[in-house]
Structure 1
């Protein structure tokens, strides 16, 4: 009981305990298969080729799009070219949609092309739509806002907060005097609070307002989901059914806003082309290397395959995808007598709620019952920096043994926490943790992920740091090898979770996946 409730946090350890040295191990101290894995990844990597084919050739992989299906077909063909059996497992349907071109121009009081894109699942424009740009009014009650709604027919409504400056906080801090920095930060905080009050006074939220504007006869809706980093906007899904919804870069959005409030009556023309494709299948892409001694026991290489489509989905989760694909390529080549069956699982519709992995847990109980371990990677291009025991009491023992085989120059900077707390969401490892399966998130360094590339229009190939990803391939491949070779099944014993605010914390529950997504949108 005491062990289960104790929390350990330390830099990665040697087999004898303590802290690992940062110097590389002598090559002779590595297991022969590990030496081969390191050499293969360092000298014969196919990561760049995989990234080019997937991210440049196919692009983003929004659930329900032809690109997602094309990516699945490509992954299966690639796996099978390596001798890895590939398949797709359908788990539901999603509203099918395909992005087209976006052309947004200011046509008065002068001509200017605007940096803008339609949101995912935005309705198309059969012919260009144009209208005067207006902003949300400073109302004091939902009644006042309801009266204003009667005035917006045929207009383009800006629904995001106006930003006085499109400079990020860190740049202001670098160049402003201390007094100016404090002033600008206070203004930024006050502006955000004022916008929240404005929204509250309308009686709507960011989720419900678009529908109200559409019903009131707006010609289009424009927002600017700025991350706080220059040039980076998050691109999510539209909430309108008939009129287009577009995201405009913070600089152009601010220009339109100022013109509108200062009586310059800007007008914009919007032509966004996309296609509705009905309901299409949602699926997971699975690769399999059959185990030679324990084929009914499994080691899973896990990454979600889908992405949002503001950029290429490079760091979310193209890097996780190519890490797992390269790892299974290397294992297939160098580990011919794998004891346990090794699966690579590229999940669909993670972005809408871990749907692919949740469906796999529900639909494959025989596999889930006999999983040795799941290794999941999903948060960007950086080298792995943290691994948690996810609340499994004995993870310190078996995960520690597996990690001890990894070259020390890779594990030296990894911070581990045992037994840790069970993941309840965020990425696909949580679907398996909920089912009591030892499943580990290989958490990487940020490289600006949260503010710069996560779900943004800047999540592109050029943000990948391949030297970091190669290290992650070595780590993942060695962990999978060691988990497969381990003569003992990994313990699923769970820790006693703490009492928080007088309530006993409970283990996460297995959740149902969405199997008919977007049907009511």
Structure 2
């Protein structure tokens, strides 16, 4: 089902939007005609909301190795082809196949309550619902004592995350508490965190080995609560078990179960998870290409990762980046028919497990890497771009400054730059190219609560997208790509002299790393 809201609007509304495109760039501002056409198209004929519906609502989250990830690869390739852009799927590896099913968790004793819970990625299913007592980790002072306790976990569901006494955000506490109370609660929270970390060290296990030890001891399930510190938002990563389910329970319900167990109530819950282990899945990048008319062997690359964690829809990590790059390709194809350099869009797979898709592309396409003029990557949420770093390239100011100057004033004036900056060593896909010596730039977005509220959380959903902000990013990205393509000079790859570290030794440029091409090598 495709929703085309444009055709539902009265003609006067469409005309008003087109007029807005003329005025938002400033009444006295004269833009390059091609850039002006980008602005007009984005404000009068945006496809962002239609594409967001299809990607995020219809396909949903895009965990590597799942059928949904493959569906997203195929959807993005089909979308590019519908605009007469060459597109294909490039395989870079394989991953363990898995598909999420329902997660249903109920407390059945001492009273009945449905709990807010989510199965972790790649968690084993329950096959049939399990009912068991919930217990907490014991108060012990050594690994020896803990190991003696381990048999007590047999037949139980074990809570292994830190208990949060207060489930309110720091911002809310600061707003309403007296300064004295705020400082008191802050210190108590910090101490509780230190105490829990010290406890984990004392018992001699970590996030990977503790679930393994409990599973081996006969536990029938494990629960965490990976709370972000913001009410209602928990992070969902991968399970560390092979036979029993591992779930995340929201901070409120997790705290209730913890207190009941601590007070001897022996709460019992019923857990049903219906995920499926599937055959090994091929992993792909979606690659789209508009051939250059004058310099086809030189490239401008638009970059975003297509995969996501699957606690929610992956809307801002990185649905918004994908939408930005797709919409940019659409309008470049439409309004820049004589592109000098080849324009490539790379929508990467398995970024979340270590930039694997982009690292695979760098390793597998040496001729493209040799001829790359610039890479523009966007990956941190729905906000307008406000930061661009030179990524350690000495002459980056000369070309980025020139290209950025062609953007509408209301967009470029929002952006702080840092030249030459420092090379990105990880975090997002531009780092894969930087490590290979390619000028690659992260288009850093305004936070909009990204790291606390939507990054890898159960709240990374369609409704968190601010489409007006994404439209700005499309105009910016299209302008940068156009200017980079038109530039008569090939960009300098000269690297800065790296500064000294705290020990007085020179830091090193990041090294190109091999992608993980098989899930068996993922730790």
On whether the aligned pair clears a TM of 0.5, the verdict is yes
Q: 1:177 and 1:471 mapped to 2: Cα distance? A: 40
Q: 2:33 and 2:174 mapped to 1: Cα distance? A: 51
What are the ranges of 5 or more consecutive residues in structure 1 without an aligned counterpart? Answer: 1-22
Alignment correspondent of 1:444: 445
Q: Does 1:144 align with 2:145?
A: yes
Alignment correspondent of 1:379: 380
Q: 2:300 and 2:443 mapped to 1: Cα distance? A: 15
User: 1:295-306 counterparts in 2 under 5 A?
Assistant: 295-306=296-307
* Aligned residues of 1:27 and 1:35 also touching (Cα < 8 A): no
Q: 1:38 and 1:372 mapped to 2: Cα distance? A: 24
* Aligned residues of 2:425 and 2:510 also touching (Cα < 8 A): yes
Aligned-pair Cα RMSD in Å? 1.1
CA positional deviation for 1:189: 1.2
User: 1:360-371 counterparts in 2 under 5 A?
Assistant: 360-371=361-372
Alignment correspondent of 1:66: 67
CA positional deviation for 1:200: 1.1
Alignment correspondent of 2:18: none
* Aligned residues of 1:302 and 1:344 also touching (Cα < 8 A): yes
Q: Does 1:512 align with 2:514?
A: yes
Q: 2:410 and 2:522 mapped to 1: Cα distance? A: 51
Alignment correspondent of 2:315: 314
CA positional deviation for 1:499: 1.2
Count of aligned pairs: 499
Structure 1 SS opposite 2:102: strand
CA positional deviation for 1:338: 0.4
Structure 1 SS opposite 2:400: helix
Q: Cα 1:342–1:76, aligned 2, differ >3 Å: closer, same or farther?
A: same
CA positional deviation for 1:278: 2.1
TM-score by length of 2: 0.94
> Structure with the greater relative contact order (CA < 8 A, sep ≥ 6): 1 or 2?
1
* Aligned residues of 1:305 and 1:317 also touching (Cα < 8 A): yes
Which contiguous aligned blocks of 4+ residues in structure 1 show a shift greater than 3 angstroms?
Answer: 23-28, 518-521
CA positional deviation for 1:504: 0.8
Q: Which moved more, 1:496-505 or 1:423-432?
A: 496-505
Alignment correspondent of 1:293: 294
* Aligned residues of 1:94 and 1:519 also touching (Cα < 8 A): no
Q: 1:44 and 1:179 mapped to 2: Cα distance? A: 54
Deviations 1:448-474 (A, max 9, x none): 000000000000000000000000000
Alignment correspondent of 1:408: 409
Alignment correspondent of 2:13: none
Alignment correspondent of 1:473: 474
What are the ranges of 5 or more consecutive residues in structure 2 without an aligned counterpart? Answer: 1-23
Alignment correspondent of 2:215: 214
* Aligned residues of 1:95 and 1:519 also touching (Cα < 8 A): no
Structure 2 SS opposite 1:357: helix
Q: 1:112 and 1:182 mapped to 2: Cα distance? A: 35
* Aligned residues of 1:95 and 1:280 also touching (Cα < 8 A): yes
* Aligned residues of 2:516 and 2:522 also touching (Cα < 8 A): no
Q: 2:491 and 2:261 mapped to 1: Cα distance? A: 63
Deviations 1:409-430 (A, max 9, x none): 0010100000000111000000
User: 1:218-237 counterparts in 2 under 5 A?
Assistant: 218-237=219-238
Structure 2 SS opposite 1:93: strand
Deviations 1:251-295 (A, max 9, x none): 000000000000111011111001111211011000110111111
